Chains A and B, each alone.
Chain A
Amino acid sequence: MNSTYSVIAVAIVVTATVLIGANGLRLSRTTSDFYVASRTVSPWWNASAIGGEYLSAASFLGVAGLIFAYGADMLWFAVGYTAGYLVLLTLVAAPLRRSGAYTLPDFAEERLASVPVRRIASLLTVGIGWLYLLPQLQGAGLTLYTVTGLSPLVGAVAVAVVVVVNVMAGGMRSITIVQAVQFWLKLAAITIPMVFLLLAWQHDGAPTPTGPTPPAFTERTTVRVNSAVTVRVNEPVRVTVTGVVDGHRLRESPVRLSTGTHRIDQGTSVTFSAGAVVPQVTSIPATTGDQWALPLSGTSGDHSLYVVYSLIVATFLGVMGLPHVIVRFYTNPNGWAARRTTVVLLVLLGVFYVQLPLYGMFGRLYTPELLMTGRTDATILLLPARLIGGIGGDLLSALVAGGAFAAFLSTASGLTVAVAGVISRNTLRRFGITGFRVAAVGAMTVPLAMTLVSSRLSVADVVGLAFAVAASSLCPLVVLGIWWRRLTSVGAAAGMTVGGGLALTAGLLTLVGAAQPGWWMDLLRWPAAWTVPIGFAVMIGVSLATPGSTPPGVARLMARLHAPESLGLRSTADREEAAQ
């Protein structure tokens, strides 16, 4: 695979982003007569912009990689990342917009009239933002590593620097049109190669990965292991090795890998003959094609059903806690536009996510060696060159790499702006724009430091953790805040702390590998199914126990949240207020 085009594509994306940020390109007309009111952002533009910030490294690379590795159960990621907006649409979008809140801490303060609740929501927002930034940086490192072989740190640092410089230079104005273009770039980067891949696959006789056999190499393949792995071999296989296997240093030697696990050191090349079964890294369960394609067949652990429900709860309810998504809803002029935006967004995200399972399937057919190195996230980047080849394949790979980098940059800058906004609002307000810039550096430094020490964490796991924490803490706050007038400030604080704290603890325990495989492991790794109900229960229970701390004026606020603007209730209520 020729990496030159990919490097050029990544360079173009980075340069364009820096230029747009540094020159403060407003892309707004500079004329002397136009009707300002007609220029509010339309739902289509806004939906594209939200998509631009939302489609992240986890979406772009992670979901296809997960489906490739673990099979049909992981389809729920693709479904959940989209369907979360359905929950947002029905329960949250319009009332949240009508509340006038810019961030969720704003909403907490508006609804509960409590500064401590605001502080807790701020801490959670910043924490979720950091957890979500971490995989963006990791994904960037992975992409640059896959297309150029540079150390994964280079990509992470590059994205961090570009984003921070951009934000400091004034690019923090998350310009709707730029973000919208980013979305269409990403959609193109995923759709155009898919068209060619489908054609090539048809030409290949449309093979399917199902069947009673495990994935095998279709042709003679040399796999280079770039970081040491332990693989499991289920039937003996003859290979040619240069490097270190099971502690033996070999050079172009034929080896018979017996049944069992083998350790392959960094820098080793292993050559397989056509038809050989792929030895799989131990962290990915070895499955036959049929098991892979069948839901709840145990590929995602012994408690597939629990895992699936936990996944559904986390992704469906976690979206509304993502800071960079929520701030974009503010751009809608009213509640109706917020709903409309969400509907359009559902369509746009649907078109995007429906393709990722196909990439997962192609990955299983054409890049099975990734099951051995464990880097299944790279499958989208490798497929065009593998399946199509030649300069066409290189160009398509370059398009994918550019799109992936656009994903890191836009999501990372959206998150940085949102996190920095929350930090500066709470601690550095009196310093104005300077405070915001200082906060931006802080917002990026922490996740970058986390990346430097955590290169082995799976992108998808950290994203899952961010979603689980959001679903267990901020989701109960928003949903109950909008739909339950007896929510109290004490209840909200308790629910957020308990729900978010439990999810965070469970996630971190998993990440440090504290749990042995089994029920405990699954409960900790997929905590949403129990932490979300606990978060809701604590919030409701404590609220009922502390009726005295109900904020004043709830009825009026509720009327404002739920009454459509066109009814004119808001102005009537405020006029009465003014008359008192």
Chain B
Amino acid sequence: MSTVVSFLVGVLVGLAGLGIVVLSRRAGTARTRRDLGTEAEQVTYETLHTAWSAAPPLRAGLSQDTARKAARHLRGLLRAPALAITDGEHRLAWDGTADQHADAAVALAATAFRTGKVSVLGPDRVACADPSCTLRYAVAAPIAVEGEVQAVLTAYSAEESAGLARAAAEVARWASGQLELAELDRSKARLIEAEVRALRAQISPHFIYNSLTAIASFVRTDPARARNLLLEFADFTRYSFRRHGEFTTLAEELNSIDQYLNLERARFGERLSVTLQISPEVLPVAVPFLCLQPLVENAVQHGMEDRADGCHITILAQDGGSEALISVEDDGAGMDPEACRRMLSGKGDAGGGIALGNIDERLRQVYGHEYGLVVETALGAGTKVKLRVPKHRVGVHAT
């Protein structure tokens, strides 16, 4: 019996231990609130906390949904009985009492929306027929993004108050800041997308010219091979120019690399030798589109640079539990680690550098900073670029 009891204890201790490890990661962020400080500190804390709660919805951009979520917190900041967020034509959100005022919110905000200035509205515009309703005054403050009014925040009150007008203007400006940050996020994403487009269009003219010349040289001597190479060329360009989808499977990416290498071998012949070692288990892994092919192109360029005896390229893709481990290696001239570091941080000047920096940035954005490119290189020692790709990440699907 004692053995089974200790078994039970072992199980529970094991589970509890794991639970503690998992949960402690959360507990680290939750501070105790026992020591609340002075009243002023408390007010500061509460204000900042409320503002912080309103930030995430606004950072996602302005829509009915995000406005509704933010309005609740913004009203709390202003301590107003009711608050509306409207754009030029529609009411985006209404929060608070006295719903009969909601429909007039757009009309009230019109002046502020047109002029971009805070407008204070009296009982003649605000008051309603309901005698029990206390809402008499309203402050409409514009929310502008990059100088253009996007929405108007209207705060209602029972009395005329200069304090409310100032506070509403400040809250509207704070909201503007958050929306500008949202716009910044969007431009960043657009920039990356544009860079992927650029990569897609970046098949170098030299490569096209050299490939076609190499194919032409086979047309008479080996027509079958010439035909195959042309088909490879067609497939390769179709893949590189494809328009949709941010992700693809490792299998497709490697397939494109295979086509690319076949074309390069047609040109370089025996001088370019390649070792591919691919674990079939990782072929279905979703990877960012064109995250490997530019690395191989770089490797061929570096490897063949100033060399008559040719070069050897090794491409590895291995299974590493919940990740795929990929590396591309050449035995070429290598590069100065410092130059490489500059390249990765986006300050590089060479064409290959843009690709490295772009891939690094995209990997970090999709998977987090621990998943950036790792480059091992030195002058004269070849270059090895390594990356890790998690087998699953929410929102990452090959298309």
Do A and B interact?
A: yes
B153 to chain A minimum Cβ distance, whole angstroms, is: 26
A508 touches B8 (CB 8 A): yes
What residues of B have a CB within 8 angstroms of the CB of A110 in the complex? Answer: 392, 394
A472 to chain B minimum Cβ distance, whole angstroms, is: 16
Per-residue CB contact flags for chain B residues 268-300 toward chain A (1 = under 8 Å, else 0) read: 000001111111110110100000000000000
What residues of B have a CB within 8 angstroms of the CB of A399 in the complex? Answer: none
B4 touches A513 (CB 8 A): yes
With contact pairs A110-B392, A511-B7 given, residues A172 and B22 touching in the complex (Cβ less than 8 Å): no
- Would you list the 7 A-B pairs with minimal beta carbon distance, nearest first? A454-B7, A173-B319, A102-B391, A421-B322, A106-B392, A36-B254, A102-B392
* A511–B4 alpha-carbon span in the complex (Å): 7
Closest residue of chain A to B2, judged by CB?
A453
* A276–B252 alpha-carbon span in the complex (Å): 69
Task: Provide 16 A-B residue pairs closer than 8 Å at the C-beta atoms, listed in order of the A residue.
Answer: A28-B279, A33-B262, A35-B258, A36-B251, A106-B391, A106-B392, A119-B23, A126-B18, A173-B318, A173-B321, A423-B18, A426-B22, A446-B10, A450-B10, A508-B11, A574-B245
Contact residues of B between 173 and 207, Cβ < 8 Å to A: none
Query: DSSP majority for the A interface?
Result: helix
| Contacts between chains A and B (CB distance < 8 A), count | 175
Closest residue of chain A to B25, judged by CB?
A427
A333 at the interface (CB under 8 A from B): yes
* A450–B276 alpha-carbon span in the complex (Å): 43
What residues of A have a CB within 8 angstroms of the CB of B21 in the complex? Answer: 427
* A447–B18 alpha-carbon span in the complex (Å): 13
B255 touches A37 (CB 8 A): yes
B399 touches A570 (CB 8 A): yes
Per-residue CB contact flags for chain A residues 1-44 toward chain B (1 = under 8 Å, else 0) read: 00000000000000000000000001010111111110111000
A130 at the interface (CB under 8 A from B): yes
* A20–B3 alpha-carbon span in the complex (Å): 37
Closest residue of chain B to A120, judged by CB?
B22
What residues of A have a CB within 8 angstroms of the CB of B14 in the complex? Answer: 130, 446, 449-450
Tell me how many residues of A have a C-beta within 8 Å of chain B: 70
* A574–B21 alpha-carbon span in the complex (Å): 37
A288 to chain B minimum Cβ distance, whole angstroms, is: 32
What residues of A have a CB within 8 angstroms of the CB of B325 in the complex? Answer: 433
Contact residues of A between 205 and 255, Cβ < 8 Å to B: none
A28 touches B280 (CB 8 A): yes
B15 at the interface (CB under 8 A from A): yes
B222 to chain A minimum Cβ distance, whole angstroms, is: 15
A453 touches B281 (CB 8 A): no
B350 at the interface (CB under 8 A from A): no
Given A126-B18, A174-B281, 10 more contacts at CB 8 Å?
A28-B279, A37-B255, A100-B398, A175-B279, A417-B321, A427-B21, A432-B370, A436-B322, A513-B1, A575-B245
What residues of B have a CB within 8 angstroms of the CB of A35 in the complex? Answer: 255, 258
Closest residue of chain A to B246, judged by CB?
A578
Per-residue CB contact flags for chain A residues 106-137 toward chain B (1 = under 8 Å, else 0) read: 10011001000001001100110011000000
B284 touches A333 (CB 8 A): yes
B388 at the interface (CB under 8 A from A): yes
A32 touches B251 (CB 8 A): no
With contact pairs A40-B280, A100-B397, A172-B321 given, residues A32 and B274 touching in the complex (Cβ less than 8 Å): yes
B231 to chain A minimum Cβ distance, whole angstroms, is: 13
A32 touches B273 (CB 8 A): yes
* A570–B248 alpha-carbon span in the complex (Å): 12
With contact pairs A176-B280, A453-B7, A457-B4 given, residues A113 and B392 touching in the complex (Cβ less than 8 Å): no
A31 touches B396 (CB 8 A): no
A127 touches B15 (CB 8 A): yes
B22 touches A427 (CB 8 A): yes
What residues of B have a CB within 8 angstroms of the CB of A175 in the complex? Answer: 279, 281, 319
A549 at the interface (CB under 8 A from B): no
A453 touches B10 (CB 8 A): yes
What residues of B have a CB within 8 angstroms of the CB of A32 in the complex? Answer: 261, 265, 273-276
B8 touches A511 (CB 8 A): yes
A262 at the interface (CB under 8 A from B): no
Partner of B7, one of A127, A172, A450, A571: A450
A425 touches B322 (CB 8 A): yes
What residues of B have a CB within 8 angstroms of the CB of A333 in the complex? Answer: 249, 251, 283-284
Per-residue CB contact flags for chain A residues 394-436 toward chain B (1 = under 8 Å, else 0) read: 0000000000000000000000010011111111011011001
A455 at the interface (CB under 8 A from B): yes
Closest residue of chain A to B258, judged by CB?
A36
What residues of B have a CB within 8 angstroms of the CB of A273 in the complex? Answer: none
B251 touches A429 (CB 8 A): no
* A429–B6 alpha-carbon span in the complex (Å): 32
* A452–B388 alpha-carbon span in the complex (Å): 38
B370 touches A28 (CB 8 A): no
* A454–B388 alpha-carbon span in the complex (Å): 40
* A123–B14 alpha-carbon span in the complex (Å): 11
Closest residue of chain B to A574, judged by CB?
B399
Per-residue CB contact flags for chain B residues 21-49 toward chain A (1 = under 8 Å, else 0) read: 11101000000000000000000000000
Contact residues of B between 363 and 399, Cβ < 8 Å to A: 370, 388, 391-392, 394, 396-399
* A31–B399 alpha-carbon span in the complex (Å): 29
B122 at the interface (CB under 8 A from A): no
B5 at the interface (CB under 8 A from A): yes
* A421–B10 alpha-carbon span in the complex (Å): 22
What residues of B have a CB within 8 angstroms of the CB of A203 in the complex? Answer: none
Contact residues of A between 423 and 476, Cβ < 8 Å to B: 423-427, 429-430, 432-433, 436, 446, 449-450, 453-457
* A423–B245 alpha-carbon span in the complex (Å): 31
B394 touches A123 (CB 8 A): no
* A30–B312 alpha-carbon span in the complex (Å): 13
With contact pairs A126-B18, A426-B22, A508-B11 given, residues A103 and B3 touching in the complex (Cβ less than 8 Å): no
A304 at the interface (CB under 8 A from B): no
B223 at the interface (CB under 8 A from A): no
A101 at the interface (CB under 8 A from B): yes
Contact residues of A between 145 and 197, Cβ < 8 Å to B: 172-176
* A383–B297 alpha-carbon span in the complex (Å): 62
What residues of B have a CB within 8 angstroms of the CB of A567 in the complex? Answer: none
B269 to chain A minimum Cβ distance, whole angstroms, is: 12
B8 touches A331 (CB 8 A): no
Closest residue of chain B to A177, judged by CB?
B280
* A436–B388 alpha-carbon span in the complex (Å): 13
What residues of B have a CB within 8 angstroms of the CB of A456 in the complex? Answer: 3-4
A555 at the interface (CB under 8 A from B): no
A172 touches B320 (CB 8 A): yes
B220 at the interface (CB under 8 A from A): no
* A113–B257 alpha-carbon span in the complex (Å): 34
B251 touches A37 (CB 8 A): yes
What residues of A have a CB within 8 angstroms of the CB of B394 in the complex? Answer: 109-110, 113
What residues of B have a CB within 8 angstroms of the CB of A127 in the complex? Answer: 15
A436 touches B273 (CB 8 A): no
A560 at the interface (CB under 8 A from B): yes
Closest residue of chain B to A510, judged by CB?
B4
A332 at the interface (CB under 8 A from B): yes
